[in-house]
Structures are given as structure tokens and as C-alpha cells.
Amino acid sequence: MTSGAYDMNIRIGYGMVIVSGICCIYYNVILAWTLYFFGMSFQSEVPWKSCNNDWNTEWCVQRGGENSTFNESITELTVENVTKKLVTPAEEFWEFNVLEISKGIEHPGSVRWQLVLCLAGAWVITFLCLCKGVKSSGKVVYVTATLPYLMLTILLIRGALLPGAIDGVIFYLKPDFNRLADFKVWVEACLQIFYSVGVAWGGLITMASFNRFHHNCYRDALMIPLINCGTSFYAGFVVFSIIGFMAKEANLPVDKVITSGPGLVFVAYPEAISRLPMSPIWAVLFFLMLLTIGLDTQFGMMETLSTGLIESGGKYLMKKRMLCTAGICIVLMLLGLPCITNGGVYVFQVLDWYSAAVPVAVLALSECLVISYVYGAERLYGDIEMMIGYRPTSLWKYCWYTVTPLLLVICLITSLVLYKPPKYGDYEYPLWATNMGWCLAALPLIPLPVVMIYGILTTKGTLRERIAHLKKPTDVWERARKKTQNVDEMEEDNSNELMEIKS
């Protein structure tokens, strides 16, 4: 992101700060769950391996391994005239030990003190990594960005040696062309890329603002999505080799053991790990990898939030950066407490369902339209050329003008048309919960018209003059542009003088 475009995106950035702030609240809950599993893995046997624990019920069934009690022809069991679906030890550990789940969001219950400690631990780690801003997080990221690749490789080697792993990999690589013809699949994939790469979340813009003026932002714009997609593709082999092993153990097709969301990370994968020899070691490695990956994501969102809040407060808050960061972490931790009650997972799902889809797509569309039609694609080309020394291919211009906005509009409309309220298993949310979700979705979008109207009202001149003034970069960027132009002119004059001396 160039500095001139960054100045224009400050007007959209308030929405990005809000959406990152909402996501920070519930994303650290994921890290709290991860820390809980990580701590529980330091035992002679992982506690989600068998049905012989205090939290297990009559409907618990162990599938795979020597002690398997699973019968693929029986999916339900009746006990004392009550018929329920059979569940695995990993599912019961997740719901009855980790979450101590209630019947619904309207039954919040009490706060889980074990998860409070884990949530506090997650926020302490986040604070220690961000207390000095990008200086501290930049050093920590050397570990958190490289360690997951080592862990993934270890888990891939172990998974590849398991029976049935090849079936999972084949399922992963072999496309289902019937599903590819489903338009909704492509829309979901597009939205997932937005979440994965971090487009319109503000993290990329925030990190780019710390770069030097002549940093090669064009190279970064190519490398980030390539590395992101490559990592996801590589991680797919790790996941599906284990899923293939699970399917082989349970004597089921691969697609019958696939799940998504928290269920994959905290139920399906731990269940597979429990069947491995020396399962606690593999559980520790897996959840350590998950923790480092999660911290990387949390860093980006927290840096966006803290930078936006602290720098908007002027030099005074910037001098108190460490104290401000600590305050932000404490406030967000308190706001995350409803997610670790007995009904917390329902609150978590509402936050994730509504805050990470529609508002992000609207912000991305607004950003693209502002850059292309308000700030001007040609002006952006000039900024990039001034920073990196050459002009990018014109293909980008056509993407900014037409392709990207069109795709975003299609994704946005499709998401709204195909919208379905969230469900957790068979539980359906009450109307007030979904209304609360839509209010959360609208919250990051409020600054768009508010900041625009405020800017027009507080700028001097006629309406046309005010709009023309607001379309320009800030004075800081204009001074940087002129300074760079003067340096280039001086270098050109010196070069010409040197040529005259040589001749």
C-alpha cells in the first residue's frame, strides 16, 4: 500500500479498526481453547481418548483402535426411553469438559474459571509480543512465522505413514466437478480468501505504514497471497492425511468424517491424534503449532486496533504506547468473557458469523472504489512508480476498475441472498441473537457515511471545493512527493554534470 493511498484509506480505516477489534475479542478465545488443550496434553494419555471419564455419557462411543465400541450401522442409542445420537470421546471432551456447554445462548450459565486463566494467558502473550509495537512483534514473528512450517512438516511425515492417509490425500486432490459447478462454492472460497489474506481488515495497511518510503510494495502484493495460498495448500496434505487415517479406522468414507470450523480443530483432529502411538507428544506439537499460527493472526488485528486508537490520540498516547496497549488488552479480555461461559460458544459463533463476512466485503468494495475512482488509479500508479522506480503492468488497473469491484459485488449480493441464520448442531438461535449479529455487522460500516459527512462539513469552501480537497492526499504525503521529486532532479543534474566532466 502506498503512502498516498494509505492517507485516503484512513477514512475507511475506522471501519477496519472496528472489525479488527471485534475479531480480536473472539479470536483470542480460540487461543484460550488452544492453551487449554495444550495444557491437557501433558498427560500419559490424552483425556479425550476414551469414554471412561467423569464427563462422558451413556451415548459415548469409541471408534477405531483396539478398544473400539463403534458400529457403523448404529448411529443412535436409546437409554431410559431417551434416544440420542452417538458421539465420540473427543466430542464429549469438547462439549462437556472444555465448554461445559449449556442448552443455548439464552442460558449463559457461569464463567469457566479454567478458560478464564487460559484467556488471560493468551492476552498476556499477546501483550508481551506487542507492548513495544511493531518493534517487538517484528522480532516475535520470526518464531511464530517459521515454527508452524516445521510443525506442519513433522505432522505431515507422521500422517503420511498412517494407514488410509493416501485415501485422504486423493480425496483432497481429486476435485468434485459437481461441487465446482455450484456458484455458492466459489463465493464461499472468495470470502475465505478475504479472511485468510486479511484484505480489508486493516492489518496489511497498518503493517505497510511502517515500511520505508521506497519499500517494494509491488513485490509484497504478489508474495503475500502466493505464500498464503501455498501454505494453505501444504497444510491441506497434513489435515487430509489424518482424515484419511480416521476414515480407515472407522471404516467410513472420507467425506463422512470431514467437519469444519472449531469442530475440525478441537474435535476431529484431536480424535485422530488420540489413536496415534505416543499421542500426547503429537497433541503437544499440534496445539503448539496452532497457537503460533493463531498468534500471527492476532498480531495483525491487534496492531491494527492499537495503532488506530493510539495514533488517533496524538503524541501523548504514542508516548504511553505500552500502557495503552495493556489497557486495550484488558478491555478486550473483559469483553471476551461472555464467550467462555457455559453458553459462550453460541456467543462466539454469532460474533464470527456476522462480523467476518458482510462488513469485510463492504469495506473491501469501498476501498477498491475509493482507490480507483476517487483517489484515482492513475495517481496510484504514479505513487507506486515513485516508490519502487518502475510502473506496474496495466493489468492491475483493469482489476481495480472493473474485475475486483464486480467480484466483490457478486460475492456480497450472493451472501445476502443465500443468507441462512447460524446453527450450532441442531440448536437454532432466537431472533434477538440474530438481530444482535446484524447490529455487529453494521457497526464497522457506520464510520463510512459519518466520516464522509464530517469531512465535508468541516472543510472550507464550496461543496465542489470541499470534495476536491478531500480527494487529495494529506500535506505530509505531498511534501514527501515533492521531496522525492527534488532528490530525483538533483540526481539527474549531478549525473549530467558528471557526464560533461567525463566528456
Residues within the annotated binding site?
196, 228, 296
| Strand-pair partners of 427 | 424
Nearest to 194 by CA among 444, 445, 411, 29: 411
- Per the structure block, which three cell numbers stand in for 489? 532532479
- Per the structure block, which three cell numbers stand in for 154? 513433522
Nearest to 4 by CA among 360, 449, 338, 376: 376
Nearest to 93 by CA among 135, 125, 128, 49: 49
In whole angstroms, give the CA distance from residue 286 to residue 349. Answer: 23
- Per the structure block, which three cell numbers stand in for 196? 485468510
- Three-state SS at 105: coil
- Per the structure block, which three cell numbers stand in for 272? 485422530
Beta carbons within 10 angstroms of residue 438's beta carbon: 14
- Per the structure block, which three cell numbers stand in for 304? 491494527
Q: Which value, in Å, is the radius of gyration of the alpha carbons in the chain?
A: 26
In whole angstroms, give the CA distance from residue 29 to residue 144. Answer: 18
Return phi, psi of residue 275, to 5°.
-90, -5
For the residues of 353-407, what is the DSSP string, one character each?
Answer: HHHSSHHHHHHHHHHHHIIIIIIIHHHHHHHHHHHHSSPPPTHHHHIIIIIHHHH
Cα–Cα separations (whole angstroms), residue 338 to 59, 107, 334: 29, 11, 8
In whole angstroms, give the CA distance from residue 487 to residue 373. Answer: 30
Largest CA distance in the chain: 104
Cα 179 from chain centroid? 25
Which residues line the annotated binding site for Na(+)?
A: 196, 228, 296
